[in-house]
Every structure is written in structure tokens, then in C-alpha cells.
Amino acid sequence: MSQPLRLGIAGLGTVGVGVVKIIRQHAAMLTARTGRDISISAVSARSKDKDRGVPLSGYAWEDDPVALATRDDVDVFVELMGGSDGPAKAATEAAIAAGKHVITANKAMLAMHGQALAEAAETAKVSLRYEAAVCGGIPVIKALTEGLAGNDITRVMGVMNGSCNYILTRMEDSGLNYQEIFAEADGLGYLEADPQLDVGGIDAAHKLAILSSIAFGTKVDFDGITLEGIERVSIEDITAAADMGYKIKLLGVAQMTGRGLEQRMQPCLVPASSPLGQLQGGTNMVVIEGDSIEQVVLRGPGAGMGPTASAVMADVCDIARGLSIPVFGVPADTLTTSQPAVSTAPAPYYLRMGLVDKPGALAKIATVLGEAGVSIDRMRQYGHANTAAPVLIVTHKAASASIENALQAMETTGVLAGAPVALRIEEL
């Protein structure tokens, strides 16, 4: 039997406690599967005296995570504190410099500093693993770096924030508006301390940046993502989209084009019958497309104690087995700097607008669309709401620039009762 693998865990919140529980409850199973005993040497958190529902007295305590990261009796530093900078980054850098392997669930740190950390880890010949940083319990990092390593990846997309998916599906089920469901989700503890990380799409964009790097061999580029959250999605849009056979999702999409790397995180319509359209509640889903595999759909819990701790332990087990691969699938010094690209590929669009109730209003909108090169696939007009006549249009494939031109021209027609809404329809 090899020497035990000794962990130092920084951060004893939901995920940290979940990791402690798995190690305590499944020690024999982990040994059988890895060939090594896995133990915890020391832990660190903000408060030593807090009751976390799991015994910690058998582990050494460090107030300073940097001191924990450099202890002689720690082989693997497990960073579960969070935050793109500060103690998490300092302790991770210290661990790598001290020759320790690192496991982290910190998507923000990797999205902002992934390249530098990867280069440092590979120079030090230690592992930097982060399965838990993207989509909780879904093994999407392992799928891209290992299971699909023989594929030229053509597109990665998915629902990568369970809180947003909960809000959108709950709005449809209840008929309540965004503000009401936001308050409900916040009260249930589904949102981050800063809710904008969730509803603004930032959390999901961090994940997309990491997946893009692995999929396309590029340096992590969070700033290159076109980003829009779900704050402007109304119950009217959700109801209307459903009536037309679609669901609205906060969808991340990444693909390499002839113009550069396209990365976008924005509300989109997807067919209600598609796997993404059927995704309910706080569940995540990632769709990966490659030249050999064609399409793989991964679905599972994106957060929570058990799922995220499970992902951490997957990395622990790989290190215990001696598995070593580059941080982003290929050596960090070979990752290229991508050229950010805005999508120009034509796609269908959903348009909703309220028109003033006077003759020729709809004809003016149709004319504007035609002059912008946008043709109408389907159109529905509903009963009047006060003085406005609600109109829904699904276009044939059109370039985003053509849609923008049409929306700008609509403002000059004098027939709009309010700002029109335009959402891309993503084809699966």
C-alpha cells in the first residue's frame, strides 16, 4: 500500500463539510478505488468554534490558509474559500510554490487567473484540478480533457447556473413575474451573497470561459464573453415563447469561427422539446459537440453539498491514483490568445412588441423587417392590452446586425407602444 494522501482543506462551508463527510463515511471505498488511504491533516476557516455538524477535532487547525497550504503534512491543498483574489489566490499560489497539488472549486479565480496558475503548476510539476468549479456534480471537465480528447470540439453550450434556471422555470410554472420569483429564490438561499453574480450571468460566464479554454486550446478569456443576464426577461416573454413552442434559458455558447472565438452568455429561446428546453429547476446541462462524437449531453445538479463535494473527491481520487494531465488539457504554454468574435452566423429570432392601435401599424413593422433583410416565419397577434396590440414574430434566419438595424428602424415608425424585445433562438 502506498503512503496516505494527506489533504489540507481551506474553507468549511457547504462544500468543505461535504468533502469531510465523504472522506469519513467512505474511507474504505476510497482506498479500494485508489490504492491509497486518503486522510485530512489540517483544516482552515474563518471561525474555529462554529458547529458545522461534523467532527473536526482530529484535524490540525490553521487560522491562515497560506500556512495550511505550506504545511509539511499536506500533500494536496483543497481550496474551497472562493473569491477571485485575496486569500484563495494567495494560498493557491503558496501551495503550488511549495510543491503541493491543488484542488479548487473556485471558478472566479480560474476565469481571472487560470493561465498564470496553470503555468505555475505545470512548471512546479504539480496538479491543479477543478472539476467542482464548473457545473457542480457534472463531470464536464473530465469529459472534455479525457473522455472526448480524441475529438475536435466544434461547440460547447449549456445552462450553467441553476439559480437562473430555477427562476425562469418557476416564472413559467407560477405565472409570477421576475421580481417576485427573484425574491422567492433569494429567500430560499438559492442566490449568491451578491445576486448579480447569478442573475447577471457572471457566475455562468466564469464557467463558460473555463470550458472554452479546454475545448479550443485558448487562454481563458472571461472579458471576451458577450454577457447579458436574465433581469430583462419578463413573464410575458416566457408565456409568449411557450405559446410558440420554446423555452427561455440563460444559455452559454462557445465556438471557434473563422473570425475568432465566439463566447456568449445570454437569454435565448430553445425548442421546448429539446433536452435544454426540458431542463427544470436548479439543474445544469452542458451540450458538447465534436467531429467524431457528434453530440453529448451531460445533465445533473449544478450545486449543493453532495454534488460539488463529489466533484472535489473525483479530483482527489485522480491525484491519489497518480493521474497527471495539463491543467487545461494541453500544456499551458501552448494555449493561444484568442481573438474575441461577435456572432455573425444567421439565426432565427423571437421578437415581441406592442403596437399602437391604428391602421397600417403592422404593415409598417413588416416593411421595416423586409428592408433590413429579415423575413417573417411566424407571427401572432393577441387581444389588446390597454391601447397596445401585442405582436409576436419568429423570423427566419437573420444576421444579428440585420435584427439590430430593424429594431432601430422600428423606433422611427411611430407605431411602437414600447421598446421591442428580441431574443436569439438557438438551434440544437
Answer for the pair 396, 375: CB distance below 8 angstroms, yes or no. Answer: yes
Close Cβ partners of 403 (under 8 Å, ≥ 6 residues apart): 349, 372, 374, 395, 422
281: which residues sit within 8 A by CB, 6+ positions away?
162, 165, 166, 169, 170
Rounded to whole angstroms, the Cα distance separating 40 from 56 reads 10
In angstroms, rounded to a whole number, what is the distance separating the alpha carbons of residues 104 and 8?
Answer: 12
Asked whether 43 and 9 are in contact (CB, 8 A), the reply is yes
For 344, other C-beta atoms within 10 Å of its C-beta total: 12
Q: Which amino acid is at 310?
A: S
Name 40's bridge partners.
7
Is 73:39 a contact under the CB 8 Å cutoff?
Answer: no
Residue 274 grid cell? 429539446
183, burial (CB in 10 Å: exposed 0-12, middle 13-18, buried 19+): exposed
Strand, coil or helix: 61: strand
Handedness of CA 175, 176, 178, 182 (dihedral sign): negative
DSSP state of 421: E
Helical H segments across 56-201, by residue range: 65-69, 86-97, 107-124, 140-142, 162-174, 178-187, 196-199
Of 151, 159, 138, the C-alpha closest to 314 is 138
Judge contact between 69 and 77, C-beta under 8 A: yes
> Annotated catalytic, 207?
yes
Query: How long, in residues, is the chain?
Result: 428
Q: Active site residue: 89, 100, 107, 207, which one?
A: 207
Phi-psi region of 298 (alpha: psi -120 to 50; beta: other; left: phi over 0): beta
Active site residues: 207
